[in-house]
């Protein structure tokens, strides 16, 4: 059937007709908002490269969490700024560290909000790498027990989900075993399975004060050129017990999101990272594009590619726009 019998424009004529045939949905519950928590009180330290975001003391983070819960978002993911950094990233797995403290406060104040805890050492190590060092290399196997301890500390403090982002081999299995041994068999793991060594993490490293002090992360994060390897990473993480897998960043890796969804049919998250957010904000500030429309389009595209859940810095501004009928 071709023209003039077939006219695809028929269903584009009005907002209602467009809504009727819309294939992809985007709801507040699909979005997870990252929060950066720091020590102190009544503190909001704005992050220059991420307009609208700040490092928040626990009281402020709780207030933010309450607002996000009212908007119906699918959760918050916490990143911590420790009071001091050391070679082993001790505050990452201290039971009284910043993230467990924030988790306890949020769980008490906003019990229905899903609390995700990012599990990694990079915010806590003085060298800024995601694991402990042996010379200038990150020692994979010595890092695993520390990540496992962090995951247990967060789950005990009230995290509903733990999300390892370090890219060490075998960490999902190590975390699963440690959670099970600590009677936390019901705590799900969302693994950052296909996490690329990306230039788009720039603003985050300012936000979380986690830039590596020497070298880069290419010896543990993935080469942006590789798609098949992403599927191997996902397969291994699922075998080790991951309940959901993540692709990160999102927009430059939509093909990877699609392949993971098609091949494995498991819950998939995508991380719309700091640089993706910052570039859109910068262009919108200059009036070079309509920031709201661009964010909606980007988030819809990530869902269309196959992501069930999107971690995004746009969550708070975009959630209120969803649900109202879109032209």
CB of 12 to ligand PBG, least distance (A): 35
Q: Is 234 helix (H, G, I), strand (E, B) or coil?
A: helix
Select which of 42, 107, 195, 261 is catalytic.
Answer: 195
DSSP 32-53: EEEEEEESSSS-EEE-TTSTT-
- As a whole number of angstroms, the distance between CA 61 and CA 81 comes to 13
Q: Which residue among 26, 38, 78, 120 contacts ligand PBG (CB under 6 A)? A: 120
In the complex with ligand PBG, which residue's Cβ is closer, 188 or 202? 202
Least separation in angstroms between residue 201's CB and ligand PBG is 4
CB 155 within 8 A of CB 123: no
Q: Which two tokens stand for residue 141?
A: 């196997």
- Does residue 117 interact with ligand PBG by CB under 6 A? no
Contact criterion met (CB below 8 Å) for 154 and 147: no
Selected from 30, 60, 118, 240, the binder of ligand PBG by CB under 6 A is 118
> Taking the alpha carbons of 290, 256, 35, 190 in that order, is the dihedral positive or negative?
positive
Among positions 55, 140, 274, 312, the unique one binding ligand PBG when judged by CB under 6 A = 274
The answer to whether 261 is a known catalytic residue is no
Nearer to ligand PBG, 41 or 223 (CB): 223
Position among 93, 154, 204, 253 found at the interface with ligand PBG (CB under 6 A): 204
Which stretches of the chain are DSSP H helices?
15-20, 58-70, 98-109, 140-157, 171-181, 202-207, 228-240, 254-264, 274-285, 291-305, 315-318
* 165 near ligand PBG, judged by CB under 6 A: yes
Q: Residue 291 or residue 325: which is nearer to ligand PBG going by CB?
A: 291
Of 46 and 323, the one with the shorter C-beta distance to ligand PBG is 46
Pick from 116, 154, 201, 220 the residue near ligand PBG by CB under 6 A: 201
Residue whose tokens read 């708070």: 316
Provide the CA 287 distance to its chain's centre, in angstroms.
28
On the CB side of 220, CA atoms within 13 Å amount to 26
Nearer to ligand PBG, 35 or 305 (CB): 35
Residue 154 binding ligand PBG, by CB under 6 A = no
- The angle formed by the CA atoms of residues 255, 203 and 247, to the nearest 5 degrees, is 25
Binding mask 122-141 for ligand PBG (x = CB under 6 A): x-------x-----------
Query: Residues touching ligand PBG: how many (CB under 6 A)?
Result: 13
The whole-angstrom separation of Cα 131 and Cα 166 is: 7
Phi-psi region of 215 (alpha: psi -120 to 50; beta: other; left: phi over 0): left
| Residue 291: other Cβ atoms inside 10 A | 18
Per rule CB under 6 A, is residue 253 in the interface with ligand PBG? Answer: no
Which residue has its beta carbon closest to ligand PBG?
204
The reply on whether position 191 binds ligand PBG by CB under 6 A is no
User: CB under 6 A: which stretch of 20-28, 198-206, 260-268, 278-286 binds ligand PBG?
Assistant: 198-206
248 is catalytic: yes
Q: Is 35 in the site for ligand PBG (CB under 6 A)?
A: no
- Residues annotated catalytic, as ranges: 195, 248
Binding site for ligand PBG (CB under 6 A): 118, 120, 122, 130, 165-166, 201, 204-205, 210, 217, 273-274
């Amino acid at each position: 059937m071709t023209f003039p019998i077939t006219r695809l424009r028929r269903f584009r004529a009005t907002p209602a007709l467009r809504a009727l045939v819309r294939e992809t949905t985007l709801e507040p519950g699909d979005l997870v908002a990252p929060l950066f928590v720091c020590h102190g009180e009544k503190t909001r330290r704005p992050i220059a490269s991420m307009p609208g975001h700040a490092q928040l003391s626990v009281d402020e983070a709780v207030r933010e969490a309450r607002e996000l819960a009212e908007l119906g978002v699918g959760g918050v993911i916490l990143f911590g700024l420790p009071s001091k950094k050391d070679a082993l990233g001790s505050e990452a797995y201290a039971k009284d560290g910043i993230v467990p403290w924030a988790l306890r406060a949020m769980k008490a104040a906003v019990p229905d909000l899903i609390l995700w805890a990012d599990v990694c050492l990079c915010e806590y190590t003085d060298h800024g790498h995601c694991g402990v060092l042996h010379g200038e290399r990150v020692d994979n196997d010595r890092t695993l027990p520390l990540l496992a301890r962090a995951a247990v500390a967060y789950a005990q403090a009230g995290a509903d989900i733990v999300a390892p982002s370090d890219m060490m081999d075998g960490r999902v299995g190590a975390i699963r075993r440690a959670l099970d041994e600590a009677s936390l068999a019901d705590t799900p793991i969302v693994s950052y399975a296909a996490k690329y060594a990306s230039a788009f993490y720039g603003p985050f490293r300012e936000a979380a004060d986690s830039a590596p002090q020497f070298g880069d992360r290419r010896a543990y994060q993935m080469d942006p050129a590789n798609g098949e390897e992403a599927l191997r990473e996902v397969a291994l993480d699922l075998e080790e017990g991951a309940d959901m897998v993540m692709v990160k960043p999102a927009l430059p890796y939509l093909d990877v999101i699609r392949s993971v969804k098609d091949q494995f049919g498991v819950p998939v998250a995508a991380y719309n990272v700091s640089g993706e957010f910052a570039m859109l904000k910068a262009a919108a500030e200059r009036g070079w594009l309509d920031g709201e429309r661009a964010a909606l389009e980007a988030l819809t595209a990530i869902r269309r590619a196959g992501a069930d859940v999107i971690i995004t810095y746009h969550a708070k501004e975009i959630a209120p726009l969803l649900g109202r009928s879109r032209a």
